[in-house]
Amino acid sequence: MTRPTHSRRQVLGTLAAMGLGVLTAARADTASQPPSDWPQASPVPGGVARLALGPATNRPQAWAGDAPLLVVGDSAGWTALVGIPLSAALGDAQIEVETGGSRRTMPYRIGPKAYAEQRLTVAPRAVDLSPENLARHERERIHQQAVIARFTEPVPPDLRMLAPVDGRRSSSFGLRRVFNGQARQPHSGMDIAAATGTPVRTPLAARVADTGDYFFNGQTVWLDHGGGLLSMLCHLSRINVRVGDVLAAGQNLGAVGATGRVTGPHLHWSVLLNQTAVDPALFIHA
Ligand SMILES: [Zn+2]
């Protein structure tokens, strides 16, 4: 008895019946070459891990803890882009992946990254909040958590971002700040030096998710790029957009300022992925 042999045409026909197109079969050869618009892979605290999920007809769902992950690619090979918290422990970590109704755990490793530390001695009043300001900040923190938890579709078709203003970019993401001997939250974004009034661009096509004037962040615009990818632009002197506006990459949204708790005009830009602040520099590579 002879085994049936399959012609290429038959194999492709079978793949098509499985929902995997001929195009998919042809593109599998290039699966090792990730699209150049993806964020740089940097599996460290404050970085982005790119985890290959393999081929599947439909986009798999994936989670880090309870937070849904941005999954990009196509049926020839999907990739989860995982934002890693600055506070993450080094070593073994995992995500959950659901493909075609079956769920699995996918391990990965978080490597070390040394961020700079800044020790400052400041007047006690600059560190300790009044009860009123503490209450205000707590309300704003809860409001902000709801914005951060957004996960909308479609996922962004392109992930490379524009720097929102021209100017000297500090490499301050992840900076560990110690005020009067007390450790504060590490710096969760990129600061770009620019004069008050400098126009601020939309770094990547987005819908405006939130605007407001907040205690620490001052006049702020939150952008929802889709798929749990968000940008936050702070300390603005002027906001030119409203919640719900759909903005193209490069479109003006406001102007640099010094609102909120800052010592001088600059733009603070945070990028969040799966509810986690990651280094914006990973998204503006050439
Ligand atoms: Zn900042």
C-alpha 247/C-alpha 227 separation (Å) is 16
Q: Could you give all domains of the chain from N- to C-terminal order, each with its CATH number?
A: 37-110 (2.60.40.1590), 117-283 (2.70.70.10)
- Position 242 scores a pLDDT of 98
pLDDT of residue 22: 35
What pLDDT is stored for residue 24 in this prediction?
Answer: 38
Burial of 27 (0-12, 13-18, 19+ CB in 10 A): middle
* b/e per residue 95-120 (b: at least 16 CB within 10 A): bbbebeeeeeebeeebeebebeeeee
Compute the distance between CA of residue 79 and CA of residue 50 in angstroms, rounded to an integer: 6
For ligand 1, the distance from its centroid to the CA atom of residue 217, given in whole angstroms, is 9
Q: If we measure between CA atoms, which residue out of 202, 199, 252, 255 comes closest to residue 230?
A: 202
**Distance in Å, CA 25 to ligand 1 centroid:** 46
- pLDDT of amino acid 126: 64
What per-residue confidence (pLDDT) applies to 30? 44
- What CA–CA distances, in Å, run from 17 to 7, 8, 9, 77, 84? 15, 14, 12, 18, 38
Return per-residue pLDDT of the chain as tens, 286 residues: 434 444 333 333 333 333 333 333 334 444 456 788 899 999 999 999 999 999 999 999 999 999 999 999 999 999 999 999 999 999 999 999 999 889 999 999 999 999 999 898 877 766 678 999 999 999 999 999 999 999 999 999 999 999 999 988 876 899 998 888 888 889 999 999 999 999 999 999 999 999 999 999 999 999 999 999 999 999 999 999 999 999 999 999 999 999 998 889 999 999 999 999 999 999 996 6
Q: What is the 3-state secondary structure (H, E, C) of 247-263?
A: ECCCCEEEECECCCCCC
Rounded to the nearest angstrom, the distance between the alpha carbon of 117 and the centre of ligand 1 is 15
Ligand 1 geometric centre to CA of 234 (Å): 8
Measuring CA to CA, which residue among 237, 202, 203, 208 is closest to residue 222?
208
Place of tokens 């800044």: 118
Cα separation, 122 vs 102, in Å, equals 54
Tell me how far the alpha carbon of residue 120 lies from the centroid of ligand 1, in angstroms.
16
Q: State pLDDT tens for residues 13-25.
A: 333 333 333 333 3
State residue 153 phi and psi, 5-degree precision: -120, 155
Q: 78 CB contacts (<8 Å, ≥6 apart)?
A: 52, 53, 54, 55, 56, 59, 60, 71, 72
